[in-house]
Chains A and B, each alone.
Chain A
Amino acid sequence: GAGVSQSPSNKVTEKGKDVELRCDPISGHTALYWYRQSLGQGLEFLIYFQGNSAPDKSGLPSDRFSAERTGGSVSTLTIQRTQQEDSAVYLCASSFGGVWGETQYFGPGTRLLVL
C-alpha cells in the first residue's frame, strides 16, 4: 500500500512568511509524528498525535510552530513568521497504534529553505 507522503517536497520562502507543510500518513495508522532534521541539531522530535488525544507538543521549538491533524488523518505543520534557522528537512512519520517503542514509517520529507 501507499506509504507516508509529504508535500511539498521542497519549499523556498522569504524570512517572515508563513509556511504550511502537509503529511498524509499510512491509512489506518492512528499515530502521527513530526520531526525536524537540520545540520546543527540532527533529528529532533517536534509533535506527536495519537488518535483523538491531545497532541504532545513538547518538541515544538517556539510558539511560531503549530500543527493540526484533521479527522485523525492528514496533518499540517505551520510555521509562522519563518526565520532562517527554521531551514531544515521536516519529516513526518506514522505508526499503527502509537504504543511505546513502535516502529515508525517515515515520509520523504519537506526540505524548507528560508532566505
Chain B
Amino acid sequence: SQQGEEDPQALSIQEGENATMNCSYKTSINNLQWYRQNSGRGLVHLILIRSNEREKHSGRLRVTLDTSKKSSSLLITASRAADTASYFCATTGYALNFGKGTSLLVTP
C-alpha cells in the first residue's frame, strides 16, 4: 500500500526555474528517501533524510522534513531539461513504500 503521497501529480516549468514537490506520509518514519525515475524505468536514489534532520542539501537539491506534519519537500533549483523525470518519495522499512510520484517536465 502507498505510504507517501506526492503533490503535485504533474509540474511543468521552464529551464532555470525552481521546482518544488511535496510528499505527505502516514506513519512514523526513521528516514525518508527521494528517488528519480526516467522514462518509466529504473529508479535512481537522490537523497535520504533522517527523522532527526530538518533539512538536507545535495547539489541543486534541497530536501526538508517536518515530522510533526508528516511531510517532506524536494526543491530542485535552477532546473534543467535533464531534470525531466518522475520523482518519488519513499518511506523506509526493509522495503520501500513509494508514493505515486510527481511528473516534472522542464522545457528549454
Give A contacts to B, CB under 8 Å.
4, 31, 33, 35, 37, 42-43, 45, 48, 50, 56, 59, 89, 91, 93, 98-109, 111
Inter-chain contacts of B33 with A (CB < 8 A)? 101, 103
Since A89-B41, A98-B94, A106-B44 are in contact, a sample of 14 more A-B pairs with Cβ atoms closer than 8 Å, ordered by chain A residue number, is A4-B42, A33-B96, A37-B40, A42-B98, A43-B98, A45-B96, A48-B94, A91-B43, A93-B96, A100-B30, A101-B48, A106-B35, A108-B41, A109-B42
Assembly CA distance A100 to B28 (angstroms): 14
- B16-32 CB mask vs A (1 if < 8 Å, else 0) is 00000000000000110
Provide 14 A-B residue pairs closer than 8 Å at the C-beta atoms, listed in order of the A residue. A33-B95, A35-B95, A37-B40, A43-B96, A93-B43, A101-B92, A101-B93, A102-B92, A103-B33, A103-B48, A104-B45, A104-B96, A108-B41, A111-B40
Query: Contact between A100 and B93 (Cβ–Cβ < 8 Å)?
Result: yes
Q: Is B2 an interface position by the 8 A CB rule?
A: yes
Assuming A42-B100, A89-B40, A101-B30, is B94 touching A56 (CB within 8 A)? yes
Assembly CA distance A89 to B101 (angstroms): 15
Within 8 A of A (CB), among B7-62: 30-31, 33, 35, 40-45, 48
B104 CB to nearest chain A CB (Å):
16
| Chain A residue, CB-CB nearest to B50 | A101
Query: Contact between B45 and A103 (Cβ–Cβ < 8 Å)?
Result: yes
Inter-chain contacts of B71 with A (CB < 8 A)? none
B19 CB to nearest chain A CB (Å):
20
Assembly CA distance A104 to B98 (angstroms): 13
